[in-house]
Amino acid sequence: MEAAELAAAGMTGRLDILECPQGFLELFGGRDAKGWAGLVLATPHVIEVDGLMPKRHPCCGSTHNTIDAILDLRAEHRFAADDVAAVESHVGIANARNLAYPEPTNEMQARFSMQYCVALALREDRLTLADFTPEAVARDEVRRLLPITTMTSYSREDELKGIDRLPHQVTVRLRDGRVIRAERKQAKGSMADPFDDEDRRAKFSDCCSRLGEVVLTSLYDRLQSLDGASDLAFLEAAFASTSQAAALATARRGLVSA
């Protein structure tokens, strides 16, 4: 529905989106996909195995395993960004392709930059939306860390050896000579490593920070018991101070009239 409405509004896209490298066909069927004939759905379904994963970090998912691995290492070894001489990240082929901007010049490129996201992970305990603004990307203290990160990927042969996902591997070389390593198959937020209460509240707070702390806290608490709510009127009250109030009221009137 959304795609049809965007097309009707005049949005265009590449004509070879199904067949192009990293297009729909390769993404879901691999390079050697033979088409739909004889297609059998996996059992159990991938939704049951991997589930729907909320993103802990507001950037490309291809960076998440590496970010989480660095945060794990920081929590264990208590090093600071200035203690790090080099970071080596080893990821999947598709992940490396996604992360095409070693020296991002704007906030959108920064979301697809392993070097930028690693720099943030070395300095901060949590990445936020405020890290992906033009001003944030231009910070000298972050940009000076970009060159210390290198990224490599598995070979196609490595990825064809088995059906199990390969871990993303991180090596951190400290200036005192220590070399510490970590790897992750699943990012924080997956079924294998789900959000805890702190992660969930922090993510909600970051996404809804414009509401203000008082409204935000009240709204979060109400949403925790959403299944028992008799109506959604509390949402309209929460957004009353934002430009979304009018749109929300219109939507409710439309639902009632329908």
Q: Domain-by-domain residue ranges, the chain?
A: 2-40, 61-184, 208-257
Instruction: Walk across the sheet containing 149-153 and list its strands.
Output: 149-153, 84-91, 168-174, 179-184
Measured from the Cβ of residue 144, the count of other Cβ atoms closer than 10 Å reads: 11
Whether 120 contacts 131, CB under 8 Å:
yes
**Does residue 248 carry a pLDDT above 60?**
no
Residues 151-176, mean pLDDT to the nearest whole number: 91
Query: For residue range 166-191, what is the model confidence (pLDDT) as tens digits?
Result: 999 999 999 999 999 999 999 999 98
Give the pLDDT confidence score for residue 31 in this predicted structure: 73
Q: DSSP class of residue 230?
A: S
Average pLDDT over residues 193-199: 93
**What would the pLDDT profile of 85-100 be if each residue is shown by its tens digit?**
999 999 999 999 999 9
What's the fold here for domain 61-184? 60s Ribosomal Protein L30; Chain: A; (3.30.1330)
Partners of 221 in the β-ladder: none
* Strand partners for 168: 184
